[in-house]
């Protein structure tokens, strides 16, 4: 039995033996003591692990210099890099380099640059009218002309759609005659009914309002 316990195995007869052993006061007290010691060891190990993780987080936070002096040094370094890059650009375009706050001036943008950029912005359509928006090609007048007569009486406009098939096939009157709805839910038929077009079962009916 001890060998099985060391291997992490436990059988039904082992539980019976444990239950009989715990009937003795000395054995029960010993088991309670061992259980308490195991809990204390587990709590101690957990606290030690939490302390180690907190120390690691603290050391990781101290890796970077976030003091005022460190931030000022980073700011001065960034400013120097930006000034050098600006000087190189001005040297390339043949403009005099700025040598102080009082002599700094804003360089005018060439007219050719501004006109070209404005023309590109005007030519490039935005939003739903963008060229690469995936908008389908416009339909012809014949394709846009759709008949919406009721598929039952052919004398009224279809305004009730069947779900889940989605067919818009019945007017309101024919819909009420074809599949009356429940009193507490006007969208669900009282009895089983099928769509007049595809014969698929109707779970819900929705009235469609055309704009």
Question: Residue 28's pLDDT band (boundaries 50, 70, 90)?
Answer: confident
Cα gap 95→103, rounded to integer Å: 13
Full DSSP string of 49-66: HHHHHHHHHHHHHTSS--
> Who has greater pLDDT, 69 or 56?
56
Residues 128-151, mean pLDDT to the nearest whole number: 81
Q: pTM of the prediction?
A: 0.37
């Amino acid at each position: 039995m001890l060998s099985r316990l060391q291997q992490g195995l436990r059988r039904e007869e082992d539980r019976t033996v444990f239950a009989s052993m715990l009937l003795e006061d000395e054995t029960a007290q010993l088991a309670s003591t061992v259980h308490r010691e195991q809990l204390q060891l587990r709590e101690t190990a957990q606290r030690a692990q939490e302390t180690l993780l907190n120390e690691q987080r603290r050391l990781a936070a101290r890796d970077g210099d976030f003091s005022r002096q460190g931030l000022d040094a980073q700011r001065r370094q960034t400013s120097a890099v930006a000034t050098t890059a600006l000087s190189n650009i001005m040297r390339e375009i043949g403009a005099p380099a700025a040598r102080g706050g009082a002599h700094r001036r804003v360089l005018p943008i060439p007219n050719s640059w501004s006109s070209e950029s404005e023309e590109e912005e005007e030519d490039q359509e935005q939003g739903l009218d963008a060229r690469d928006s995936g908008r389908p090609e416009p339909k012809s007048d014949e394709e846009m002309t759709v008949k919406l007569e009721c598929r039952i009486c052919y004398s009224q406009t279809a305004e009730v759609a069947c779900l889940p098939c989605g067919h818009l096939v019945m007017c309101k009157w024919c819909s009420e005659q074809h599949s009356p709805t429940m009193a507490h839910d006007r969208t669900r038929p009282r009895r089983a009914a099928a769509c007049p077009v595809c014969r698929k079962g109707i779970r819900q009916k929705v009235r469609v309002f055309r704009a």
